[in-house]
């Protein structure tokens, strides 16, 4: 779940930003938690970490830039979106590494574009550590090489079997396959997605995996899957050689 903060001393701006941000992430299918603050002091007093922070540059008391300077003392990773009517303040803000500037009045299309760029940035950062999956226990970053297979158990419940753990995801096999296909994963059966690096043997209509479990191969897909495994082995041999 992404944690988002909005700090602005105009209630109307907070309301508008909240509505647009909720609509954007709803369309993306992402869970978010939004906290709203009427001043920089109020935001800082809660000592919370956020993934994304909207800061009004011109606020009563501590302004948005000074608020960001305080945030950066303990949090170097939070993404900052400045909301401003004052273009002359932009150069002063560079020291705290803002991600985007949102001018008032707010342009919905431009804000959507900025949020899309934020999402690309977040998931590129995450994928260096692992692929993000929304599990029943929260967001988990799993490296592709640690995954053995995914198994669909019904009612949108998917078991993710890794080298050292099992996790459960609420999603469809189709969506998961779209996410992992670029890493070379294969779909030998409508209920399974496997990591070919974890195959230990092909047993007629089963694949013996590294955890000693068997994954079925759909009869109609056997020729295709065997061909994909052979291609994978050839690529691996060439790379190692």
Q: Of 59, 54, 44, 42, give the one whose Cα is nearest residue 3.
A: 54
Q: Spell out the domain ranges in the chain.
A: 2-129, 131-240
d(CA 43, CA 68) in angstroms, rounded, equals 10
Instruction: List strands edge to edge, sheet with 138-142.
Output: 138-142, 131-135, 166-170, 157-162, 147-154, 192-194, 186-189
Q: Going edge to edge, which strands form the sheet with 79-84?
A: 32-37, 2-7, 52-56, 79-84, 100-103
Let me know if domain 2-129 sits in CATH 3.40.50.2300. yes
Determine the pLDDT at residue 168. Answer: 96
What pLDDT is attached to residue 238?
43
| Spatial contact of 63 and 57, defined as CB atoms under 8 Å apart | yes
Q: How far apart are CA 10 and CA 12, in angstroms?
A: 5
Task: Give, as one character, the DSSP assignment of residue 139.
Answer: E
Let me know if the fold of 2-129 is the same as that of 131-240.
Answer: no
**Contact partners, residue 209, CB within 8 Å, separation at least 6:** 148, 149, 194, 198, 199, 200, 215
Q: Which CATH class is domain 131-240?
A: mainly beta
What totals of helices (H) and strands (E) does the chain contain, helices first?
A: 7, 15
Q: How far is CA 222 from CA 117, 193, 202, 225, in A?
A: 41, 14, 10, 5
- What DSSP string describes 174-192? HHHHHHHGGGT-EEEETTE
Asked if 22 contacts 14 with a C-beta cutoff of 8 angstroms, the reply is no
d(CA 8, CA 25): 21
Distance CA 140, CA 153 (A): 20
| Tens-digit pLDDT string for the chain (241 aa) | 889 999 999 999 999 999 999 999 999 888 899 999 999 999 999 999 999 999 998 888 898 889 999 998 999 888 999 888 755 455 444 445 567 788 888 999 989 988 988 887 776 665 556 888 889 988 888 999 999 999 999 999 999 999 989 999 999 999 999 989 888 899 999 999 999 999 999 998 999 999 999 999 999 999 999 988 888 776 664 444 4
Q: What is the 3-state secondary structure (H, E, C) of 8-46?
A: CCCHHHHHHHHHHHHHHHHHHCCCEEEEEECCHHHHHHC
Burial class, 184, CB count within 10 angstroms (exposed 0-12 / middle 13-18 / buried 19+): middle
Phi and psi at residue 49, to the nearest 5°: -100, 140
Query: Is 57:65 a contact under the CB 8 Å cutoff?
Result: yes
């Amino acid at each position: 779940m992404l944690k988002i903060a909005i700090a602005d001393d105009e209630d109307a701006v907070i309301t508008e930003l909240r509505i647009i941000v909720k609509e954007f992430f709803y369309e993306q299918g992402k869970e978010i938690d939004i906290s709203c603050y009427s001043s920089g002091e109020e935001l800082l007093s809660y000592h919370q970490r956020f993934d994304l922070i909207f800061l009004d540059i011109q606020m009563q008391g501590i302004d948005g830039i000074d608020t960001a300077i305080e945030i950066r003392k303990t949090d170097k990773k939070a993404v900052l979106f400045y909301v401003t009517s004052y273009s002359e303040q932009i150069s002063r803000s560079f020291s705290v590494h803002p991600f985007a500037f949102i001018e008032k009045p707010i342009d919905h299309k431009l804000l959507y574009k900025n949020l899309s760029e934020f999402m690309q940035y977040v998931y590129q950062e995450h994928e260096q550590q692992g692929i993000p999956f929304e599990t029943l226990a929260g967001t988990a970053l799993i490296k592709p090489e640690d995954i053995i297979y995914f198994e669909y158990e019904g009612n949108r419940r998917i078991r993710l079997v890794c080298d050292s753990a099992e996790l459960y995801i609420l999603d469809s096999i189709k969506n998961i396959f779209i996410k992992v296909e670029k890493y070379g994963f294969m779909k030998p059966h409508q209920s399974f997605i496997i990591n070919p690096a974890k195959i230990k043997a092909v047993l007629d209509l089963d694949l013996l995996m590294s955890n000693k479990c068997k994954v079925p191969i759909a009869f109609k897909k056997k020729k295709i899957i065997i061909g994909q495994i052979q291609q994978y082995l050839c690529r691996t041999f060439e790379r190692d050689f």
